[in-house]
Amino acid sequence: MTTPPAVTNAFSGRGSGHLDRLRGASPGLVLAWLVIALVVLWAAAPALFTEYSATVGVPAEKLRPPSPDHLLGTDALGRDLFARIVHGSVHSLSGALVAVAIGLVAGTMLGLVAGSIGGLVDDTLMRIVDVLLAVPALLLSLSIIILTGFGTINAAVAVGAASVAGFARLVRADVIRVRRSEYVEAAFGSGGTYAAVLWRHVLPNSLTSAFAFAALQFGSAILSISTLGFLGYGAPPPTPEWGLLIAEGRNYISSAWWLTAAPGLVVVAVVLSANRISRAVGRSTP
């Protein structure tokens, strides 16, 4: 049984399109994807990368500089720093995912309601969003986490709540644009209910910019959660959260520079990689 030429051409065209995009990817974008993939593997299977414990150390090996036995050295309790960074990736990544999910879902709902209903509802919701945007995100996160308590999840909830306003304003603008499109008016004219048209036509076509913004917020969420951990509002010791690792090493910065340099460089690399990917996603958005 032979494959029809049209089907063959369609698949070959689609495959060649993917190959062309891969060949055309810049080295910086490829490196960004590799960094994110490596960190995800750290979080999913840390035992593949290190045999040391993240919480138990050997006091006789405290403050050892980087060496073949300890790639990034050891801390003041003799714990392998590379192992703590690898095991800590699950806390930072899961916290960032929770924060982005909260901001995306809550912000999308607010933007959808404001943009689709309009009038007094739109004005009221947007004034609330303006107030939230006027407050610095870190200050708002600190206020929320003080009310809810410390911990990685609470820090993620606080960071996510601080990002709701940005998602809401972005989605509202797209909903207003899509709501005035001809195919939406045609869906209403053909007998579609208000809820059905919003769910099938308006919402799916209003999320492209939100997804690109979510990729950007992922890097910002990691940075914010690490900042809260550095200030002591994140996961408690001995949890190997990246911000907490930097905070623990600042007292030894003159004698054991690797305690702050190594986790700090990891945070910078992940944030920059997430931002690079978000820019690529934003450029590919129609």
**Residue-by-residue DSSP string for 60-128:** GGTTPPS-SSSTT-B-TTS-BHHHHHHHHHHHHHHHHHHHHHHHHHHHHHHHHHHHHH-HHHHHHHHHH
Q: What is the pLDDT of residues 181-208, one digit of tens each?
A: 777 767 767 766 767 777 777 778 778 8
Provide the residue ranges of all domains of the chain, joining segments of one domain with +: 25-54+67-284
Cα 168–chain centre separation: 17
Residue type, 68: P
* CB of 220 closer than 8 Å to CB of 104: no
25-54+67-284 belongs to which CATH class?
mainly alpha
Q: What distance in Å separates the CA atoms of residue 176 and residue 117, rounded to the nearest whole number? A: 10
Q: What is the DSSP secondary structure assignment for residue 77, as one 8-state letter?
A: T
**Nearest by Cα to 135 from 161, 116, 114:** 161
**Mean pLDDT within 242-262:** 91
**Nearest by Cα to 94 from 269, 275, 235, 266:** 235
**pLDDT for residue 233:** 87
**pLDDT for residue 285:** 57
**pTM of this prediction?**
0.81
* CB of 274 closer than 8 Å to CB of 187: no
State both tokens at 222. Answer: 């990691």
**pLDDT for residue 84:** 94
**pLDDT for residue 7:** 44
**Mean pLDDT within 12-41:** 72
Bond from prior residue into 286 cis (ω within 30 degrees of 0): no
Mean pLDDT of the chain: 84
Q: Which residue is it, tokens 């045609």?
A: 186
CA-based radius of gyration for the chain: 23
pLDDT at 282 over 80: no
**Mean pLDDT within 54-71:** 90
Q: What distance in Å separates the CA atoms of residue 67 and residue 70, rounded to the nearest whole number? A: 5
Sign of CA dihedral 206, 211, 214, 219: negative
Q: What distance in Å separates the CA atoms of residue 131 and residue 129, rounded to the nearest whole number? A: 5
Helix (H), strand (E), coil (C) string for 179-210: HCCHHHHHHHHCCCCHHHHHHHHHCHHHCHHH
pLDDT at 1 over 70: no
| Pick from 138-147, 151-160, 182-191: least confident | 182-191
Which is more confidently placed, 263 or 148?
263
**Residue-by-residue DSSP string for 209-265:** HHHHHHHHHHHHHHHHHHHHHHHT-SSPTT---HHHHHHHHGGGTTT-THHHHHHHH
Q: What distance in Å separates the CA atoms of residue 228 and residue 34, rounded to the nearest whole number? A: 27
pLDDT at 9 over 50: no
